[in-house]
């Protein structure tokens, strides 16, 4: 997990060098989560060692499971950090050309269609005595 932390830190430095705030924010969010999970894992490792020393098998299994879950989540966060894209992914240069092709036979929707007159309905007589 510490190796993964180092890899994510490397991505943070990369984003800083590129001065890419979008990427930096994305990777920083993953870094914060990795640090928290690493802290939990370190605490669980200490608790695991204590449980083993006491012979508390259930407690030891619980702490070991916590470490395993944290490790899995840290791996997922590394993959997410690698997927962080920056603002350069959104840049469109002046050489970009957009071509629109319209299939033949479609109605022309560029003009305003004629507006139909409103439909007036006279209400029925309420009483036959009128």
- Write out the DSSP string of 78-115: HHHHHH---GGGG---TT--------TT----SSPPPP
Greater model confidence, 107 or 11: 11
| pLDDT confidence band for 22 (50 / 70 / 90) | confident
Could you tell me which of 33, 16, 35 has the C-alpha nearest to residue 24?
16
What is the reported pLDDT for 128? 64
What is the reported pLDDT for 92? 55
pLDDT digits (tens, 9 = 90+) for 26-81: 999 999 999 999 999 999 999 999 999 999 999 999 999 999 999 999 999 999 99
pLDDT digits (tens, 9 = 90+) for 107-121: 666 666 667 788 888
What is the reported pLDDT for 90? 52
Greater model confidence, 92 or 33: 33
| pLDDT confidence band for 13 (50 / 70 / 90) | very high
Environment class of 77 (CB within 10 Å of its CB; exposed 0-12, middle 13-18, buried 19+) = buried
CA dihedral 101, 104, 105, 106 (to 10 degrees): 0
What is the reported pLDDT for 62? 95
What is the reported pLDDT for 56? 92
| pTM over 0.95, yes/no | no
């Amino acid at each position: 997990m510490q190796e993964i932390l180092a890899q994510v830190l490397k991505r943070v430095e990369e984003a800083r060098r590129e001065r890419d705030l979008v990427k930096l924010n994305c990777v920083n969010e993953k870094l914060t989560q990795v640090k928290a999970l690493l802290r939990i894992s370190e605490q669980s490792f200490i608790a695991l060692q204590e449980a083993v020393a006491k012979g508390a098998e259930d407690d030891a299994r619980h702490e070991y499971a916590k470490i395993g879950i944290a490790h899995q989540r840290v791996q997922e966060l590394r993959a997410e950090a690698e997927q962080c894209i920056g603002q350069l992914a959104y840049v469109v240069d002046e050489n970009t050309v957009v071509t629109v092709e319209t299939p033949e036979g479609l109605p022309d929707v560029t003009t305003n269609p004629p507006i139909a007159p409103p439909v007036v309905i006279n209400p029925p007589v309420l009483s036959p005595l009128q």
